[in-house]
Amino acid sequence: MVQGVTLARRQLLQRSLLGLSGMAAGMLLAACGQDGSSGAAPAPASSPAANQSLGNPTAALATPAMPAATTVTGQTPTGRLSELRVALPSMPPQLDPQRDWWLVMQRVYGMVYNQLIRRDWSRNGELVPGLARSWERIDETTIEVVLRDDVVFHDGSPLTAEDVAFTFERTLQGDPELSATGRFPIAEIEVLDRHRLRFVTETPDGAFELRLTKHEASIVPKAYLERVGPQRFQREPVGTGPYRVVEFVPDQRIVLEANEQYFEGRPAADRVVVVAIPEVGTRVAALLNGEIDILVDLPPDQVAVVEQAGGFRVDSFSPLNANYLIVNGLKPPTDKAEIRQALSLAIDRQAIVEQLFGGHGLVPGSVQSIFDPLYVERPPLAYDPERARQLLDQAGYSGEEITFLFDSPTYYPLQREWVELMAGMWRNVGLNVTLHGVEVSQRVEFQRPDTPYHLINNSTGVEVDIVLYKSYGPNSLHQKLFPAGYFDDFNQIVEQARVTVDNRERARLYQQALDIMNEKVMVIVQFTINRLQAMPEKIVLGTDPDFRLDLSPRNFQVRA
Amino acid sequence: MLTVWLVVTAVFVVLRSTGDPVRLLLPEDAPLEQVEALRRELGLDRPIPVQYLRFWSRAISGDLGESLRFHQPASELVLARLWPTAQLGLVAFLLSAVSGLTLGVVTALSRGTAFDRVIMAAMSLLQASPSFFIGIVLILFVSVRLGWLPSSGSGSPRHLILPAVTVALITMASLARLVRSALLEVLRADYVRTARAKGLAEHAVVVRHALRNASLPVVTVLGLELAALLTGTVVVETVFAWPGIGRLAVEAVAVRDYPVVQAVVLVVTIVFVVINFAVDVSYILLDPRVRHV
């Protein structure tokens, strides 16, 4: 379609320059491996988790100003595509949603699977029925779920309560190869009849409904999985989603066909072909050329290139993910709260978001996302270099070296640039920070008690129900690795919040925990970088902060 | 054989000295117990010498282990990538060998003319350009602007053209420069003057006397280039999303997918050794002096 694009010479030049800058990042990735894409990279927001009883939506709690998100509801389209081509930076190595959920896998899970409950992003992420027709809290620890009775798996078998029970029992068996192991605090699952079952949680768990919306809560077919075994299932997956996998060529392509019996209606494209184009510049060229229809993870510096070409729409949206720095609270000088505060106050986050990301990002007030069901608005993290200098004086800081470990090659777009900008800002207030780039595989190894580093870059999911207890709480890896002395109050609060079912009360408790996190600077939250997706104007695809490519007809349409 | 053993062993040890595949396979906040359990399951908790012995005892029977990332045999993954790599490598090699030789000979014979200077300047420029730059420029012009060829992917001969030309351009440039200087060297030699003096036609002088003698360094370089092309051109494969062995290796190293890296290294080393051997044999054919040693 865009075949005939002719470009003025100048545009072409600009484009190639832009392409090159994107490429520099891409090349680095390629050269050292680890592309974010390639996999192990931080699958953002992968924690499972928790929350909210939808039954009594406390939804009023959170009404963040929503960044412009494309939502598809209410449209009456409706053209069709015979084939939709999607380019990812790398191919998902496998498609068992409970085994792993790296970013590239999450994209495809949005086509193949459903969960009992889903978040409706056109309504600020409200929890709405998915495969469950309804759910209800019987008591503090018991949730009863009623399933839809019109859902069939791709192999033709109907969805029953047995499949749901099987799905969650899989995570309770201690299988270390399933990343979903231990993600659901379930004591017991009771199948009541063909379409009804009860979950009994180990302790009261206000976050259970939220956990049911996550990738690892994707419902898998019991009979089929038991028949083919987990190995084959990874490549011949069967779900309930709008598309079924018909061909899986490892590392080359995945071909999917529309599920004509999909319970939310007939999907808008007959076939979907997923391919990998690792290099950003090439991915953009392929979109402009009409070789692919959906480009995900467009870096912010490439937006102008796509927009100038004409005929394309770029959607920019905030994901359930935040970038932050782990701060070593055991090792001088970052064992002093003043130093940690100064490190945080010295960063002009707004400038980085505006200048470097072209405004495609936001500065949060804590690690919590605006899309958290328990979100409570708070002012963006402060930038105050004067105060930072004062704090350094108070702490008697005299230029001791602070070491900062970051991913190289980088995973996030423009990460090297923002790391260097931050280093400059720190230097401006007199902090002596030295940068050390290492591969991701080594960076994760340096997250240990005797780490020689003070700051380590990382990213996290951002729903308090999911991350505060699990990632930073008393039994978290974080506290085992950095058992600094400032966790006591925090631990008490998150312990209490974890077993509080009432949403308002839990939200209040978590705000206290976030206050402590900010005050003690347990981590240095940086910003949330928007995700960008680009496609021809006739394709309408709702954005999903939880990283799915949700191709159900309510979210994906083609204009006639 | 010794070479193969040395290389594989070195890679085995170096790989295991940095990075931890298990931490990369699981979510970052996975509990340590789960990390340890998976490490045990994958056999990565054992001492390196034990892992090493296990690797060889299996490798001898053709089992190179299962990819940690794809959960399928590493040998299958490597074999699936061999053909696309060979296609790209061979086509690029032929293109570059023919064009490089031709340009080298023509410029050597027209030495000092404007033509020679322009071509040699262009060759230097090409040789100095990073391949991703050449690749992206080709994509922008040929693919996006002119719409003649697809920008990336594989599956048809049309997909092969751009990556092959990109690889060939760079190899051609170095080859042309090498052929030109080797030939110039030889053209000054006494036996060439003798050949001319005895009245041989110019083409006979060049082809039978000069070229043949200039061919030794060229064959050596050709052999190395062929081996390099057959074992993957990471950057070009990445730019054009070509499913080659180089990209496989780089991605596997990144996540410390040990079995895949080892399998690639094994195959690549064998290809290098075989081609080196072929080059040595060709010396015997080309250079009578070697035969008598």
For B234-279, the pLDDT digits (tens) are 888 888 888 888 888 888 887 788 888 888 888 888 888 888 888 8
Does ipTM surpass 0.85 in this model? no
Q: What was the pLDDT predicted at B57? A: 81
Chain A residues whose CB is inside 8 A of the B21 CB are 441
CA distances from A326 to A34, A403, A453, B217, B250 (A): 21, 12, 10, 55, 28
State the distance between the two ends of chain A, measured CA to CA, in whole angstroms: 14
Quick one: pLDDT at residue A43?
Answer: 35
Of A31, A39, A291, the CB nearest to B69: A39
Per the CB < 8 A criterion, the answer to whether A431 and A343 are in contact is yes
pLDDT at residue number B292: 64
Within 8 A of A476 by CB-CB distance, chain B residues are 29
Select the residue from B17, B36, B255 to test the A interface by mutation, using most A Cβ atoms within 10 A: B255
In this predicted structure, what is the pLDDT of residue B183? 83
Listed range (A317-326, A367-376, B64-73, B206-215) with the worst mean pLDDT: B206-215
Segment 157-196 of chain B within 8 Å of chain A by CB? none
Q: How far apart are the first and last CA of chain B?
A: 24
B113: left (phi over 0), alpha (psi -120 to 50) or beta: beta
Which of B15, B22, B23, B29 to probe by mutation at the A interface, max A CB count within 10 Å? B29
Contact A257, A282 (CB under 8 A): no
Please give, rounded to a whole number of angstroms, the shortest distance from the CA of A218 to a CA of chain B.
17
For helices B245-254 and B258-286, angle between their N-to-C axes, nearest 10 degrees: 140
Is the pLDDT assigned to residue A425 strictly greater than 90?
Answer: yes
Task: Count CB pairs under 8 A between chains A and B.
Answer: 183
Return d(Cα A128, Cα A145) in angstroms, integer. 13
Q: Which residues in chain B touch residue A445, judged by CB atoms under 8 angstroms apart?
A: 19-20, 23
Judged by CB atoms closer than 8 Å, whether chains meet at A439 and B19 is answered as: yes
Task: Report pLDDT for B252.
Answer: 84
Length of chain A: 560
Q: Do B254 and A93 touch (CB under 8 A)?
A: no
Please, what is the angle between helix B74-109 and helix B245-254, to 10°? 130
Q: Give residue A390's pLDDT.
A: 95
* CA distance linking residue B124 with residue B120, whole number of Å: 6
Most confident range, picked from A73-77, A183-187, B125-129: A183-187
Q: Is B81-292 a domain of CATH 1.10.3720.10?
A: yes
pLDDT digits (tens, 9 = 90+) for B8-33: 888 887 777 766 777 777 776 677 77
CB contact under 8 A, A471 and B26: no
Q: What is the pLDDT of residue B43?
A: 78
Instruction: Determine the average pLDDT of the residues in B66-90.
Output: 84
% of chain B with per-residue pLDDT over 90: 0
| Percent of the residues in chain A that have a pLDDT greater than 70, as a whole number | 86
- pTM to 2 decimal places: 0.81
How far, in Å, CA of B244 to CA of B194, rounded?
Answer: 50
Per CB-CB distance under 8 Å, the chain A contacts of B43 are none
Q: Cα(A108)–Cα(A104) distance, rounded to whole angstroms?
A: 7
Closest residue to B24, CB basis, from A16, A30, A40: A40
Q: Does the beta carbon of A15 lie under 8 angstroms from any beta carbon of chain B?
A: yes
Q: List, as ranges, residues 145-164 from B with C-beta within 8 Å of A.
A: 145, 147, 150-154
> B124 in contact with A at a CB cutoff of 8 Å?
no
The residue among B203 and A96 whose pLDDT is bigger is: A96
Inter-chain residue contact B153 with A100, CB threshold 8 Å: no
- Does residue B227 have a pLDDT over 60? yes
Among B54, B52, B50, B25, CA closest to B37: B25
Residue ranges, comma separated, of all CATH 1.10.3720.10 domains in chain B are: 81-292
Hey, which residues 255-294 in chain A have their CB within 8 Å of chain B? Answer: 275-279, 281-283, 285-286, 288-289, 291
Whether residue A174 lies within 8 A of chain B, CB to CB, comes out as yes
The pLDDT value given to residue A61: 36
Reported as a pLDDT band with limits 50, 70 and 90, residue B282 is: confident
